[in-house]
Amino acid sequence: MPTECSNLISELEAAFSSGHNVKQAETLRRVTDLFLQAADRYSSEQIDIFDDVMIRLSTEIETRARAELSRRLATLANAPIRIIHSLAHDDVIDVAGPVLTQSPRISEETVLAIAETKNQQHLLAISQRFHINEATTDVLIHRGDSNVVQSVASNNGARLSDFGVGQLASRACGDGILAARLLQRKDIKSHHLHAVIARVSQTVLNKMIAECPNLETSIRNAVVQAAEQFQGALSSEKRDYTAAASQIDTMLAVEKLSDPAIGEFAKARNIESTVVALARMSDMPVDTVEHCLFSEQIDLPLILARAAGLSWVTTKWLLILRDMELKIAKHNPEDAKAHFLKLHPVTAHRLLRFYHARNLAPFQAGTAH
């Protein structure tokens, strides 16, 4: 080992002084060999030295050599972290792909940043990671093409937020493969699947069955159930927001809507005034607000309240009104408060507008605006 290290040092000095790309690539290969021989025994200080050397050698070498380095380091639990991040940010997917898909050394913040800025090939690589947090899957679903969202839906290690599931369900209405893959996930709530199946065409339905022939009976049973629910929703009485809209608009003519005023509407279980007031404060249509407020997804009323600039005190009354109207088990107030406080108002308003643009809800719930 001493002789080998001595020879390696001589090669490093020659490579750094010559600047010859081929020589640097050969030296980098030898450095990598030396690291891999005892990777699990090196101290953090020794790994940092390898990191410095690899960064220097990889700066100007050809893409093929960087791609080889990426493949060799991708699965190591203690791979030099700076070179891993350098490879992950590479615009060439042959270089970035292996570490984006496999490396445990990339932080979640880095993965999210790459998902927000890189191209579809990079998004596809990220979608295949062993574990993906909710923030990153939201970005993948928002920015990704059909290959990316199908990959996310197939990855059981991808954690899905309620909002992300809603986006997938919406996109699945025209994508039989995606719909079929959603059907196989155990973390998808039934109301999302029923919304998808109620809206898909026969062509998409056939693709779902072709993709998952073992689930044909389940799919056809879900179609019947979804159709029954769809017809029941269409025949149910719609709320009339006309009087409430007139009242709220008259109020706005002389004063601004206040946070406490909405809280009072919610306390009194005045659904129509609560919904219209929220619509005015969030600059959203009444039907979108109603769907958000009375969604089984707890995230949606929280997003709505944050986008409208409400306090947590008023938001609590909205959630109580929601629970009473839906006749469901009460939400966990501590979890809800934590989600609410973590949600930035600007982000909430962006998510709310995205929800509206996607028109997730399968039924129109109101006409006043």
What stretches in the chain show pLDDT beneath 50?
1-2, 4, 230-237, 359-369
pLDDT of residue 4: 47
Residues written for the chain: 369
pLDDT of residue 350: 79
- Maximum distance among all alpha carbons in the chain? 89
Report phi then psi at 264, rounded to 5: -65, -40
- The structural domains of the chain, with segments of one domain joined by +, span 162-236, 242-358
Cβ atoms of 191 and 296 closer than 8 Å: yes
Query: Rounded to the nearest 10 degrees, what angle do helices 299-307 and 312-326 cross at?
Result: 140
DSSP 59-122: SSS-HHHHHHHHHHHTT-TT--HHHHHHHHT-SSHHHHHHHHHH-TTS-HHHHHHHHHHS-HHH
Summarised one tens digit per residue, pLDDT across range 96-130 is: 999 999 999 999 999 999 999 999 999 999 999 99
Closest CA to 198 of 232, 154, 150: 232
pLDDT of residue 1: 43
pLDDT of residue 109: 93
| Distances 337 to 132, 146, 340, 344 between C-alpha atoms, Å | 24, 34, 5, 13
